[in-house]
Amino acid sequence: MTLLFFIIYNVLILAGILIVPLFLLVIRPSYLKHGLERLGRVPRLQESVWIHTASVGEVKASVPLIERIISSGNRVLLTTVTPAGRQYASTLRIQGLSVSYAPLDNILFTLYAVRRSSPKTLIIIETELWPNMILAAALNRVKIVSVNARLTYKAFRAYRFLGPVLRSVLRRFTLICAQTPDDRDRFVKLGAAPTAVRVTGNIKYAICTNGRSDPAEKLKKTFPGRQIIVAGSTHQGEEKIVADCFLSLRQVFKKPLLILAPRHLDRTGEVELLLRQADLRFLKRSSMDTAGTAIQQDAIDVLLLDTIGELADIYSIGDAVFVGGSLVPVGGHNLLEVVVHKKPVIFGHYTDTIKEFVSLLDGSGGIMVHDQAELCAAISYLLEHPQQAQELGEKAFALIKQKVDTLNNIMALMKTAGVL
């Protein structure tokens, strides 16, 4: 059954390569840039550590790990799936780091990528279980590790249908560093060797900050005296909620500013239309360099963040911060990017992918809301009570500070397992 699966899977991938580019050329042409990398033409390296991520969030989470691995004398190949992930990864200025798209998951392309990069270890961040990537690594005696491994109940139920196939894939891992005990149990039930799965927590706790960045501080000075509301990583349906909430808050507070950051930048046009329909005056972040000091800051209601890599720093200037993907059934996004700035964080009730953060922060610097009314009330409270907001933020930061040894534990486990 496993052999038959791989034959059918590889045939389907090859068929997709002939068809999908035609659609991407029209729908998402950015996916075709650096196309040779997707065919396995990754940077040529020797004795590297290959770290694979999905997109921006996973790239950010892996940065402390990358720095630690490079500091121990290794070169790192960092691959991503999405254009946003690759673009953000290319902004990292870390000596010894090479960046590429991951090869499409066909055995020919993955074997070619392994041959070019010569990895001694493949580290997969979270749950990017690409069968041919793992098989190609195993065939070349590359040690395979999963860091920050997570498996929601929904994903677990879906993977169970693959049965022996997934068992074959998971048994090739030397080490699986699971986020929670529930994640560990699910990986073992799917076929991972119990001795290979360890509960290590979440490396996103290793995110650190040196305070506000210069660009964030400059941005705040561009809008002096205004209370700033940041809504980050929003999805379709949430921008309307946030915009309506902002309109009601504007009746109470003197000239608040909304910084709105859609999760996917290809939706920027859609969000612009929504803001026009709400009669909100907005400025795109990408146009600020050209606008310069000519900006009439009092004439702007909304700053639309249409750039990559700035949101985590911009959270630092928010007087009230909401993290999206949580008022619609997405599962939530990284709350720690807010908390590291000693800020309380507001989030919705769809939190399947961030349960660990929610259980830690809810009521202790984290504020869960269920609808527009509760979102408005939470933002209003934080704007009206800056001292209490500061105390909540410091309380939340104290909680996550206790977790920073996660990365040290993972590094120790990898060295013990002989993968570094």
Pairing label, strands 197-199, 228-234: unpaired
CA distance 85 to 101: 9
Active-site positions read 58
Tens-digit pLDDT profile for residues 339-353: 999 999 999 999 988
Regarding the domain delimited by 28-208+405-416, which CATH topology (the fold level of the hierarchy) does it fall under?
A: Rossmann fold (3.40.50)
Classify burial at 48, counting beta carbons within 10 Å of its beta carbon; exposed 0-12, middle 13-18, buried 19 or more.
buried
- What residues in the chain have per-residue pLDDT under 50? 291-294
> How many other β-carbons are positioned within 10 Å of the β-carbon of residue 185?
16
Q: In this predicted structure, what is the pLDDT of residue 195?
A: 96
Pick the CATH number of 214-401 from 2.60.120.380, 3.90.1640.30, 3.40.50.300, 3.40.50.2000: 3.40.50.2000
Q: Is the CB of residue 306 less than 8 Å from the CB of residue 87?
A: no
CA quadruple 376, 379, 383, 386: dihedral, nearest 10: 150
What single DSSP character describes residue 213?
Answer: -
Q: Is the pTM of this model over 0.85?
A: no
Q: In this predicted structure, what is the pLDDT of residue 293?
A: 46
Among residues 76, 87, 92, which one has the least CA distance to residue 31? Answer: 87
As given in the structure block, the two tokens for residue 78 are 């960092």
CA distance 250 to 65: 43
Listed by start position, the domains of the chain span: 28-208+405-416, 214-401
Residues in Cβ contact with 177 at an 8 Å cutoff, skipping those fewer than 6 apart: 145, 146, 147, 148, 149, 198, 200, 410, 413
Q: Is the CB of residue 145 less than 8 Å from the CB of residue 177?
A: yes
Tens-digit pLDDT profile for residues 201-239: 888 877 655 556 678 888 998 899 899 999 999 999 999
